[in-house]
Amino acid sequence: MAEVVCPACGEDDDLRGERRGDAVAVTCGSCDTAFDRDLTPRCTACGSDELVPVSANLLEDAGRGDMTTPTGIVRRWLCWSCGAPDATSPGAIPAGGDWRTQRADLGLSRHLRTREED
């Protein structure tokens, strides 16, 4: 599935873009329609733009029993609306139920408290 398509003709391949601040000015090569593409990250599960950045450790097996060691950090986006844990990935799935309680044990409680105070 294409991320950007022309709103007039549906073209997803022959597109040219130029960055302008918080958006990209896109021109369709097929029908010459010009439109802006917003760069705000959105949840692929529900479409919300209420995302919270969450850092997660990448773990590697150290070879000593059940011990693992952090080998890096990756930034993921938690959707505040539906609770999808990796909201910008193509296969994002809403958490369902009371996801704020479910996520507390994953080290996200700091992010949840900050967001609830807003």
Distances (CA, A) of 7 to 10, 11, 15, 39, 56: 6, 8, 12, 16, 36
pLDDT over 90 at 100, yes or no: no
Query: DSSP string covering 27-90, please?
Result: EETTT--EEEEE-----TTT----EEEEEEEEEEE-SSTT-EEEEEEEEEEEETTT--TTTTST
pTM greater than 0.75 (yes/no): no
Q: Residue ranges of the domains in the chain?
A: 1-39, 51-117
3-state secondary structure of 102: helix
Average confidence (pLDDT) over 48-70: 76
